[in-house]
Amino acid sequence: MYTKSHDLLKNGPFPESSPFFDKLFLLARVARATNGVYTFLIEDGVTPTVRMDNKIDLPVPLVTEMAGNEQYALFSANVMLHITGHGFPVLRRDGGTRFYPLCYTCPAGRCEQTPQQTAISEVNEEILLILRHTSTGELRTLGIGSPDKVATGLLHKKSELGRNLPRALALPLSWEKGQDSYSLVAHSQSSQEIIEEGSATIIYDERTNAYEICFQMDISLPEGWVIDSVADGEKYGREARIVASLADLNPEECVPALRLFVDRHSV
């Protein structure tokens, strides 16, 4: 089992059938975090993974133990998805959440793969957007990115919601340029490899010791297709809605990553 982040990064993520799916995540040492340039370093045989809770019986720290850790930090991917002509889908966290209950968030998740891959997975898993064709009335489930990510996301939503869904309509995405840049680097005794580098808006949440890597994606619906409904793509029953602008949300009702992202952007 992957008790080291380097092994999880190279061989993960876990399939949904695994008990470790969405329960074991990457940690990194932040080698640089100045002037909007961030380097996240994962060292082979050294950097541990981190587990969600005590149900995962592995000799690695808990997510809740990472606050104040000066050696390693969590990192998460957040997706501000803009649908041309419609706006941004958001979710409202439930009241029993340990951090930021009843606050609005965009699709987001701790990284068990690279930030960009995590972002695409989360946007396909967390939000259920049903599209309707204005002429035929046909319904489709919106999927974003590669066919495998879209298929995996649709299966995840079906499993979580316990019902069948319309087949997917897969759309390409474009990444908006962020205000910061980052590199995810895997280091071993014999080599150092840049696993991923990109542009995003990066926000540090001191309360959770997590670097929130915030991406903005833009998509356009094909001609004739409109959004029929929006809902939580998972079993929690969270409120889901689409806002024309993220700035329309009450800042006091947003998780810090979303609130600070809006502060730095006009979206």
- Kindly report, residue by residue over 232-250, the tens digit of the pLDDT: 999 999 999 999 999 999 9
User: Over the chain, what is the mean pLDDT?
Assistant: 94
H or E segment and range at residue 108? strand 108-110
Instruction: Output the pLDDT for position 1.
Output: 63
Alpha-helical regions (H) of the chain: 5-11, 115-126, 147-161, 256-264
Instruction: Output the pLDDT for position 95.
Output: 80
**Terminal Cα-to-Cα distance of the chain (whole angstroms):** 42
Environment class of residue 59 by beta-carbon count within 10 Å: exposed (0-12), middle (13-18) or buried (19+)? Answer: exposed
Mean pLDDT of 142-150: 96
pTM (2 decimals)? 0.94
Give CA angle at 147 (90, 178), nearest 5°: 45
Rg, C-alpha atoms of the chain: 18
Q: Is the pLDDT of residue 174 over 80?
A: yes
Instruction: Output the pLDDT for position 15.
Output: 87
Would you state the structure tokens that stand for residue 170, as one six-digit string? 């897969």
Mean pLDDT of 151-168: 97
3-state secondary structure of 173: coil
The whole-angstrom separation of Cα 60 and Cα 2 is: 10
Mean pLDDT of 3-10: 95
3-state secondary structure of 192: strand
C-beta of residue 169 within 8 angstroms of C-beta of residue 143: yes
What structural domains does the chain harbor?
A: 5-264 (3.90.79.10)
The whole-angstrom separation of Cα 91 and Cα 26 is: 24
The whole-angstrom separation of Cα 267 and Cα 251 is: 13
Mean pLDDT of 5-23: 90
Q: Is the pLDDT of residue 173 over 90?
A: no
